[in-house]
Structure 1
Amino acid sequence: MLIARTDKTVPITVFARTSAAPDVAFRIVAPIDLSRVFLADRLFPGVAGVEGQTDTWDHAGVSRRPRFTDGSQVTESLTEYVDGHGFAYELTGFTNTLATLALGVRGEFSFLPDGGGTTIRWTYEFKPRPGRRLVLAGPFKPLWQRYMQAALNRMVAVVEEHTAH
């Protein structure tokens, strides 16, 4: 387990709403094409593709290696998967600048009923390297939160596109 109860982490959470039911939104977001929603901006690379995934992304224990547009990569492992409700994953082995800031990240998506639709809650919980917590919690946090929100908004657009048919 990457993060223990006693670790001092830096969590960043974003929310978005969709008109789709929670189970529908979940089934679209969980296996989403990462390169479609994680686009490069002036500060962060996008996802260029995914390598090494040998099984479907629908149960704990599956892993893969997202490759970024700057040539770096990370190992992503699915740690929890509750069909129709949420999933969690860990990112470790960053080969870009994040390697100097964090030992890893625990990500979690929750799909919560919201009237006739869904509120999607996405949290990135950084486990900082020694001496790096203030950087992550300070100047880095609002920049990463903006990047996450843009990616989540693109995920919702994909959900809405799929449910419009």
Structure 2
Amino acid sequence: MTTALITRTDRTVPITVFARTTASPATAFRIVAPIDLSRVFRPFGPLPGVARVEGQTAAWDRAGVSRNPVFTDGSRVSEALTEYVDGHGFAYELTGFTNVLARLAAGVRGEFSFLPDGTGTIIRWTYEFKPLPGRRWIIAGPFTPLWSRYMQRALDRMAAVVEESAIMEG
């Protein structure tokens, strides 16, 4: 059994963003869970986008699957899916950053939830940073607004992909 990156006693820095879509939660989940990261994570200010994903040997549809996103600046990270509840949500952990985040955080726990909103869906995405000792103030302070805008832009692109796909499916 793998030990969780974040425990109850850790002082983390969570950042949460939301987007709405007219698609059902099951449809939004089905489109977002396996989404092409390079399609939605684009450079923003000093933050790189995702250029490609390497090392994924199985479908992104169950806990235990892993992959290595490679960023547009050449840095990379290890990503492992830790939870997967079909149609409702999934969680993952990011560790082994090779960019500036390696000097700020031990890792990140990400979580997507797909919540009913009338006939559509609210997509909730949380990025929970586990700061390295003495670095929490950086992540909780000047880094948070920049990262929040980066996340919101990526999530808005995901919601647009959901809308496009739902239209194409009729």
TM-score by shorter chain over 0.5: yes
The one of 48, 53, 60 equivalent to 2:51 is 48
**Separation of aligned partners in 2, 1:26 and 1:128:** 29
* 2:79 alignment counterpart: 76
* 1:36 alignment counterpart: 39
Q: How many Å apart are 1:31 and its aligned residue?
A: 0.1
Return the TM-score normalized by structure 2: 0.97
Deviations 1:2-40 (A, max 9, x none): 000000000000000000000000000000000000001
Matches within 5 A, 1:1-165: 1-165=4-168
- What 5-or-longer segments of structure 1 have no aligned partner? none
Q: How many Å apart are 1:54 and its aligned residue?
A: 0.6
**Separation of aligned partners in 1, 2:45 and 2:16:** 21
**Which letter does structure 1 place at the counterpart of 2:16?**
T
Deviations 1:84-114 (A, max 9, x none): 0000000000000000000000000000000
**Which letter does structure 2 place at the counterpart of 1:163?**
A
User: Percent of pairs identical after alignment?
Assistant: 76
**Which letter does structure 1 place at the counterpart of 2:29?**
F
**Separation of aligned partners in 2, 1:131 and 1:101:** 9
Instruction: Find runs of 4+ consecutive structure 1 residues off by over 6 angstroms.
Output: none
Deviations 1:108-138 (A, max 9, x none): 0000000000000000000000000000000
Aligned-CA RMSD value = 0.4
Look up the SS of the partner of 1:164 in the other structure.
Answer: helix
Give the total of aligned pairs: 165
**Which letter does structure 2 place at the counterpart of 1:114?**
D
